[in-house]
Structure 1
Amino acid sequence: MKPNSLEAFYTSLNARPDDAPAASLPREVGHFNLFRVEELMRTYPNRPQMTFDRRQFYKISLIRGRSRVEYADKAVEVEQRGLWFASSRVPYRWLPHNLEQTGYFCIFTEEFLLPGKGGIALEELPVVQASGCPVLELTEAEYAAIETLFEKMAQEITSTYSYKYDLLRAYLWELIHHGQKLQPTPAAVPAHNASARVTALFGELLERQFPLATPQQQLRLRTAKDYADELAVHVNHLNRVLKETTGHTTTTLIGGRVAQEAKMLLKQTNWTVSEIADSLGFTDVAHFCNFFKRQTSLTPGDFRS
């Protein structure tokens, strides 16, 4: 699943990045922009239609109103007020239940926050990791405090202050840490539940690679490290968690699912063995044939006949 770009995002709003207040931001320091939810709702009177996908940028939304946030393999209902952190590593979408939605959202690239304040990298914070809890219910007081931060950013982004992007960056870090402080205490979450979440996210990610519809389509994630990077965990940690919860290593689980897809393609399509091997990410046919025989005790040709 290729992440949607900033250009695709602005196209969906019938706008261009150059039309936005952030247009003067130097390319080498990334991208930042801010929007009002009310304006989005006026643009789409039948409610905005967001696709379930990953984006090439981060998004933080302050929302008031009944809506549903779907991310990875989870869904959260927002009944009144919510703060929502959307990572570039996890597919998501927002589904408002009605037009009575207010609030703000900002989008930004990781480059905009580099270097991290105090040496902190954005991806080190649980609030933006795949295994985190990106949708937080807010009290009225919490909503008001965060709304003040968004209002400061909304005022500053159109100012002529020479150092406004440094100030916006400071406000954004304050917003991120404010949300981080509202996160559930990690110690209160049993370790086996955390392992179960990682396992579930891995399984969801693995299944999203399939089915392969054409010979030109290729697996985006092929190795244990690919999946670990996507889930923002160390490959050794992912392997240990999967071994504990499933009894199998990451490589074994990936191999089993790839073999399952290979058997389906051999039986249900007229793709050549070479096309199947290439689509499944093998460097050559011989490598694929050896892999398939280890998995099934048959060659691809014998299995197909």
Structure 2
Amino acid sequence: MATQQVSAAPKFSTGDVKLSGFKVQEISAALKPSHAYGRRDFYKIVLVTGDLIIHYGDQTIEINDTFLFFANPNIPHAVVDRSMNRKGYACLFTEAFIAGREHAQILQNSPLFRSGGTPVVRVNSGQAAFLTGLYQKMMAVQRSDYHYKDELLRNCLALILHEALSMQPSQNVLTQKNAAMRITYLFMELLERQFPIESTGDPLRLRTAQDFAEALSVHVNYLNRSVKEATGKPTSVHIAERIAAEAKTLLQHTSWNIADIAYGLGFEYPTYFNNYFKRITGSTPLSFRKRKV
């Protein structure tokens, strides 16, 4: 049987999500396929069992198991179902729905939603049973007229995030325990806030460690030292990896010509972008685009 490109989550009414900020639903192979591959207006957390290929930004992940999938609205994604036997649960929610400082920090700091992070976490039978209970609880709460149901739903989402992080802890989780981690968190947040690039008329403005240091009102040496201490990687590497990831996304999933992509990413000349991209990825932008077609 030929594979079909589908969404691992059900075909939600996105209007309902935008209206209430939250939607949860059981999913199955009987749901109609969706061929949309692009950025969304909402976050997505899916608990699913199936044989699937996930295309997420510039990553391709093959899964034949039970797993959690975390989708950031700013990172294009699509899923190929190789078995048509998927089952599970999915929820969509807007950033505005995650009200309150504590919940927002869980979302913003999580490597599960960060570009270049780990959007897929395998779960065993015991973990799947616990998570299934949380999704069923959210479905029941969603149907109820409980006055504080939004807060209860947020708590369920936080439990899912904590459970996933406990299953796959990351050395890059920034807890802001000291000054170095605090400035690193601010740097990472400022870096991510520049994306996605939607128009060449609003190009990337912060592209060097010095740019970020000035925006954060700290000395560039202090920023570099803090980021290296907190993450193990230099500031320049974080910037280069994120620009390269956005460049790959634009090359794969837009019809922009290479010059437009170069200008959108803040390069003065396309040749500068070509040399930069080849140095980071080992491939020219044109050859990368042709290879991914």
TM-score range, shorter chain: 0.5 to 0.7
Who is 1:280 aligned against? 263
Structure 1 Cα separation of the partners of residues 112 and 13 of structure 2: 29
Q: Which deviations, in whole Å up to 9, do the C-alpha atoms of 1:276-304 show, x marking residues without a partner?
A: 89x9369xxxxx9xx55x97xxxxxxxxx
How far off is 1:174 after superposition?
Answer: 0.9
2:22 matched to which residue of 1?
A: 32
Matches within 5 A, 1:46-125: 47-51=33-37, 53-117=38-102, 120-125=105-110
Letter of the structure 2 residue corresponding to residue 280 of structure 1: Y
* Residues 219 and 137 of structure 1: CA distance in aligned 2, closer, same or farther (over 3 Å): farther
**Contact 2:67–2:120 at 8 Å: present in 1 too?**
yes
- Which amino acid in 1 is paired with 2:34? P
1:43 aligns with 2:22: no
| TM-score for the superposition, normalised by structure 2 | 0.58
Q: Return the alpha-carbon distance in structure 2 between the equivalents of residues 172 and 243 of structure 1.
A: 31
- Cα deviation, 1:195-235, whole Å, max 9, x if unaligned, reads xxxxxxx9xx99x97xxxxxxx6365423359x99xxxxx9
Measured in 2, the distance between the counterparts of 1:91 and 1:242 equals 27
CA contact (8 A) 2:49 2:66 kept: yes
- The offset of 1:185, in angstroms, is 4.0
Higher-Rg member (1/2): 1
How has the CA–CA distance of structure 1 residues 281 and 172 changed in structure 2, closer, same or farther, with 3 Å as cutoff?
closer
| More helix, by proportion | 1
Contact 2:49 2:88 survives alignment (8 Å) = yes
**C-alpha offsets along residues 150-203 of structure 1, whole Å, 9 cap, x if unaligned?**
01001110111111111111111111111111124428xxxxxxxxxxxxxx9x
Q: How many residues align?
A: 217
Tell me which moved more, 97-106 or 86-95: 86-95
Partner of 1:28: none
Ranges in structure 1 where 5+ consecutive residues have no aligned partner = 1-8, 26-30, 188-201, 210-216, 230-234, 258-267, 269-275, 283-287, 296-305
> What is the CA distance between 1:73 and its match in structure 2?
1.6
Distance 1:16 1:69 in 2: 21
Provide the alpha-carbon RMSD of the alignment: 4.7
Q: 82-91 or 141-150: which moved more?
A: 82-91
Instruction: Determine what percentage of the aligned residue pairs are the same residue.
Output: 22
Long gaps (5+) in structure 2: 1-6, 173-190, 213-219, 248-256, 273-293
TM-score for the superposition, normalised by structure 1: 0.56
